[in-house]
Amino acid sequence: MENSEQLKEIVRQKYSEIALQDKETNQSSCCGSGCCSTEVYNIMSDDYTTIEGYNPDADLGLGCGLPTQFAKIKKGNTVIDLGSGAGNDCFVARADVGEDGKVIGIDFTPAMIEKARVNTKKLGFFNVEFRQGDIENIPVSANMADVIISNCVLNLVPNKDNVFKEIFRVLKPGGHFSISDVVLIGHLPEALRKDAEMYAGCVAGAIQKQVYLELIKANGFSNLTIQKEKAINIPDDILKNYLNEEELISFKKGNTGIFSMTVYAEKSKSCGCGTDCCN
């Protein structure tokens, strides 16, 4: 597998392509990565269509959960979406914060930012904005967000510890996050783990579930809760691009599990300026 900067460039290039694809193409692949399946069903994404604030132009079918459903967003909140894509979760969050709140989407890919801004202009929202940036170095001031959300994005980031440090910095004392992401139990076959296409497809970049949870705890968060968890089953016609028949049988019979997990945690109210937990 490539180094961190090479992986980031893979993600930037792939998601620039995804920004131009339709939802149906993205939904029939691994997070839109292009390893398309002939089976007609969603591999990871959940259905947004009945949720207030949903906008079909912003839904590229790239998520692996519904973090806004669990994020306890209130009227007037400032919400930040990490890896905001075409703006889908931002527009859902905007329905929750109302006109007195604010929503900021952060995305690594210029094509996604452009698409999200076009969608915002169509909707006429004055309190939703999109900023290009790396979520390992979030372009937002400290102690700014009441709520941080993210949907199937941290698995694409090489240094997840840096992201959780940044989430802690950006959240207000007493703020919280709700993040949907892909995690593993057991180990992926080498061919899947090393393949750049599967990395861009949100699978090869996933880490062990327990390691993920420990990273959250190690960065000072409290009240850690798994809000939802579901198994992700990659269709055989995708797996056969990477595994021979024997490897495929072994993988499906083994103890490896790929899961979508929505996890919640809080930054303590005592983490005000001048205290150790601000560091």
Instruction: State pLDDT tens for residues 140-152.
Output: 999 999 999 999 8
Under the phi-then-psi rule, with left for phi > 0, alpha for psi from -120 to 50, and beta for the rest, what region is 87?
A: left
Taking the C-alpha atoms of residue 145 and residue 80, their distance in angstroms, rounded to an integer, is 6
The answer to whether residues 62 and 85 touch, using CB atoms and an 8 Å cutoff, is yes
Percent of the chain with pLDDT over 90: 51
Taking the C-alpha atoms of residue 222 and residue 266, their distance in angstroms, rounded to an integer, is 5
Residue 3 — φ and ψ, nearest 5°? -75, 180
Mean pLDDT of 102-126: 95
Query: Coil, strand, or helix at residue 73?
Result: coil
Q: Is a pLDDT exceeding 50 seen at residue 199? A: no
pLDDT at 40: 31
Fold of 4-266: Rossmann fold (3.40.50)
CA distances from 215 to 48, 62, 170, 219 (A): 29, 24, 17, 6
Mean pLDDT of the chain: 83
Taking the C-alpha atoms of residue 179 and residue 209, their distance in angstroms, rounded to an integer, is 13
Taking the C-alpha atoms of residue 232 and residue 249, their distance in angstroms, rounded to an integer, is 17
Q: Which residue has the higher pLDDT, 131 or 39?
A: 131
Centre a 10 Å sphere on the Cβ of residue 126 and count the other Cβ atoms it contains. 8
pLDDT at 41: 34
pLDDT at 49: 85
pLDDT at 279: 45
Reading the block at residue 252, the tokens are 């499906």
pLDDT at 250: 83
Mean pLDDT of 194-202: 51
Residue 18 — φ and ψ, nearest 5°? -60, -35
What single DSSP character describes residue 174? E
Percent of the chain with pLDDT over 70: 77
pLDDT at 239: 80
- Provide the residue type at 207 as one letter: I
CA distances from 182 to 21, 140, 148, 267, 271 (A): 22, 25, 17, 22, 29
Mean pLDDT of 239-258: 82
Cβ-in-10-Å burial (0-12, 13-18, 19+) of 198 comes to buried
Q: Report pTM.
A: 0.84
State the helix-helix crossing angle for 160-170 and 209-218, rounded to 10 degrees: 40
What single DSSP character describes residue 76? T
CA distances from 101 to 32, 44, 71, 78, 215 (A): 31, 30, 15, 6, 30
Domain ranges of the chain: 4-266
State the helix-helix crossing angle for 110-123 and 88-97, rounded to 10 degrees: 40
Q: Which residue has the higher pLDDT, 35 or 75?
A: 75
The answer to whether residues 11 and 32 touch, using CB atoms and an 8 Å cutoff, is no
Measured on CA atoms in the order 191, 201, 260, 232, is the torsion positive or negative? Answer: negative
pLDDT at 12: 63
pLDDT band at 31, cuts 50/70/90? very low
pLDDT at 198: 54
Under the phi-then-psi rule, with left for phi > 0, alpha for psi from -120 to 50, and beta for the rest, what region is 116?
A: alpha
Q: Is a pLDDT exceeding 70 seen at residue 231? A: yes
Q: Is a pLDDT exceeding 60 seen at residue 197? A: no
